[in-house]
Amino acid sequence: MDKSISKYLFLKVIFLAAGLILLSLPARAQPVSWQFDVPFVPTPYVVIEEMLRLANVTAQDFVMDLGSGDGRVLITAAKKFGARGMGVDLDADLVAESIEAAAAAGVADRVKFLQQDLFKTDISQATVITMYLLPGVMMRLRPLLLDLKPGTRLVSHDFRLEDWKPDATTQIRKNSFLWIVPAKVAGKWEMKFTLPGADSSAAPLSMVLELRQKYQEVDGIAQFNGRHAQIWESQLSGDKLSFVMVDDRDRDNEASLYFEGRVSGDVIEGQFRRGTGIAQTVHNWRAVRAPAP
């Protein structure tokens, strides 16, 4: 017999035998990754506690664990941080195990576990989302996460959201990453207010903020009375926006304007301070999103 044919038949027998062995295994013994997008790998408890600490979980939070496995993340959130929550997983056996573990830990009234697809789960009620998901699943999930309420905290074990930089990172045995869902502020905002300082009799100024945004990274310029001003030190954390402008109407009396505001849909409201130290003054400001052209 030709050697190449003999080798082919030998390999075919080996593959057939391997297939029969896998088919004879119990369902739970088969590789979980064949059945689900995410294999179950337990997260060490010290990593769980660090994830929850990093997300600043409190008793006021509703934590959702996507791919909840044996339930240990939510049970820890309820038992050690006082939170409520819900976990979802496709594996019915793991969901049943989670329910039993929650009862044994005395937190069954604070957490629940459902067997369902995380992509078919309403995650809008979460204030904190915990994840230990593969990169491909994280990227499929990212658009849904970005549409959550600004300020929602997302914390992941080991895996990132690609070019969406974490707001904070820690490493205690494993990497933990925190993101805070940013408000959508890109575009033009119209402001009208009196700028205090050199000329107190000046008429109210009409100002347009033009902001650019990449996740929580923001920059832009301001335009008022035909002039342009650079925005400095811009920061966006959830629905909290801050930036600095320089009031240079009088070159001999320049002063920094420190703006802080909270974004609520198409409105930003807050206060700004002119100057520093005992000479500073505090004033209110309000911006409305400009109509689309």
The pLDDT tens digits for 168-222 are 999 999 999 999 999 999 999 998 777 665 455 566 677 899 999 999 999 999 9
DSSP string for 2-34: -HHHHHHHHHHHHHHHHHHHHHHS-GGGS-HHH
pLDDT in tens, 129-183: 999 999 999 999 999 999 999 999 999 999 999 999 999 999 999 999 999 999 9
pLDDT in tens, 221-255: 998 767 788 899 999 999 999 999 988 877 788 88
Four-point Cα dihedral 135, 140, 141, 142, nearest 10: 80
Q: Residues 6 or more apart from 282 whose CB is under 8 A from it?
A: 271, 272, 273
Distance CA 113, CA 15 (A): 39
Q: Is 135 helix (H, G, I), strand (E, B) or coil?
A: helix
Which residues partner with 187 through β-bridges?
211
Helix (H) or strand (E) holding 220: strand 217-224
Which residues partner with 190 through β-bridges?
208, 288
